[in-house]
Amino acid sequence: MPHASSATTEHSRSANRAQEFRRGVRATFPLVVGAIPFGIIFGAVAVNGGLSPQATMAMSLFVFAGSAQFVAAGLAAAGAGVAIIVLTTFVVNLRHALYAASLAPHMKHLPQRWLALLGFWLTDESYLVVIDRYAQADDSRDKHWFFLGSALFMYTNWQLCTYIGIRAGQAIADPASWGLDFALPVTFIGMLVPMLRSRPVVACVLVAGVSAVLFHSLPNQLGLIIATLLGVATGALLQKRKAKA
């Protein structure tokens, strides 16, 4: 009975996809909790810095890059030019190229529609749990559904928190005084520490951190650009040497 066998196989595949999706949501839950104050403070700070509520919401909907959104909103409030804003946010998001490179071997079989969606929804938080899922030795062919569950959970949470922040920012004059900005460094430290598993990564982090401190006084977040480039270059160089060894 080939039709019955085919139906059973398809049902089993659908169940596995749903299970992977739920696992992605569960794995991302602690990181979503950490991102809640981050999203709220972004929405509040952006509208108080001069962005309209519509522009602030659109940035979260169509850019969806927390740290880059903070940088862009801050530069816009400071009156920086468009070129500086674009260049700075581009450099801040260069790390996503490294994320994509490490995920590519696991996702090269996916059709373009999947790659486009998951590429847009790729965040630091989702990358952390997704790369760990791909590293697990099992024969699941649907790990991209884990990615989808994680990414959609993060995306929905970010939109909701941005909206709450916009409304709160319109009602409260100085949202920066809330003290919620602690969420950004704490969240990134929490994500970063488990990834310090090799010398290239450790060197990348150390060089970027020291450089950020040394060049902090430069205008228009240029110190951040320099630190990012130096960190990425250090990590890439050491990784290349490691591969040749």
d(CA 184, CA 179): 11
d(CA 71, CA 65): 10
Residue 219's pLDDT is: 80
pLDDT of 4 higher than 60: no
Rounded to 10°, the helix 124-135/95-107 angle is: 30
Q: What is the mean pLDDT of the chain?
A: 85
d(CA 127, CA 123): 6
d(CA 97, CA 125): 15
Residue-wise pLDDT for 87-119, tens only, equals: 888 888 877 887 888 899 999 999 999 999 999
Q: What is the DSSP letter of 142?
A: -
Residue 180's pLDDT is: 59
Residue 14 binned pLDDT confidence (cut-offs 50, 70, 90): confident
Highest mean pLDDT among 119-128, 155-164, 229-238: 155-164
Highest mean pLDDT among 22-31, 81-90, 230-239: 22-31
Single-letter amino acid code for the residue at 226: I
Residue 41's pLDDT is: 86
What is the three-class DSSP state of 219?
Answer: helix
Residue-wise pLDDT for 15-52, tens only, equals: 899 999 999 999 999 889 888 888 888 898 899 888 99
The domain limits of the chain are 2-191, 196-245
d(CA 94, CA 232): 8
Q: CB of 68 within 8 A of CB of 194?
A: no
* Stronger pLDDT, 193 or 207, i.e. the higher one: 207
d(CA 145, CA 16): 9
d(CA 60, CA 127): 18
Residue 80's pLDDT is: 83
Outline where 49-111 has alpha helix (H).
53-62, 66-77, 82-92, 95-107
Residue 61's pLDDT is: 96
d(CA 193, CA 188): 9
Residue 179's pLDDT is: 62
Highest mean pLDDT among 2-11, 133-142, 193-202, 216-225: 133-142
Residue 228's pLDDT is: 80
Q: What is the DSSP letter of 136?
A: S
